[in-house]
Structure 1
Amino acid sequence: MAETFAVPKLKNEATWKDVQWPPMKNELLLRAAKGEETERAPVWVMRQAGRYLPEFMEVRKHHSFFECCQTPSIASELTLQPIDRYPALDASIIFCDILVVPQALGMTVLMEPSKGPVLPEPLVDPTHLARLKNTVDIEKELGYVFEAVTLTRKGLDGRVPLIGFCGAPWTLMAYMVEGGGSKTFEKSKAWLYKYPEESKALLRRVADVCADLLVGQVLAGAQMLQVFDSWAGELTSHHFQTFALPPLLYLTKKVRHCLSKLGHPGVAITLFPKGVHAPSSLRLLSNPAETGYDTLGLDWMLDPVEVRELVGNKVNLQGNFDPVILYGGKEGIEAEVKRVSERWIKAGGGWIANLGHGITPNVKPEDMGWFLDCVHKYSRR
Structure 2
Amino acid sequence: MTALAIETAARDKAVADNDGTDGADGPKDAEGAEPPAGAGRPGITITADGTYGARLAGTGDALFPERWTLDGPEPYAVPLPLDQPEEPEAQVLPLADGRVLICRRVAERHTLSLLYPTGPATGEVALGAVTAEELTLLPPSPDGIRAYALAPGERSSCIWLVAGGAGGPEHIADVTGHCSGGAWLDRTGRLLALDRRQPDGGPVKTVAVDLARGGEVTPLLQITEDSDDRLLLADADSGLLLVRSNAPCPGQDLLGWGVLGSARPVRFPRSLRLPDALVTPFAVQPGQVLMPESCAVALRIDGAAGSWLGVWRPDERTLHHMASPRGWLTGSGTWSRDGVLQLPCATGSMPCQVVRTQAPPLAVPSAETYPPGSATEPAQPEAAGGEPCEGSVSPVVCRPVPLQQAPLTGRDARG
Give the alignment's TM-score, normalised by structure 2. 0.28
The structure with higher relative contact order (CA 8 Å, sep 6+) is 1
Higher gyration radius (CA): 2
Compare the two structures and name the one with the higher helix fraction.
Answer: 1
Compare the two structures and name the one with the higher strand fraction.
Answer: 2
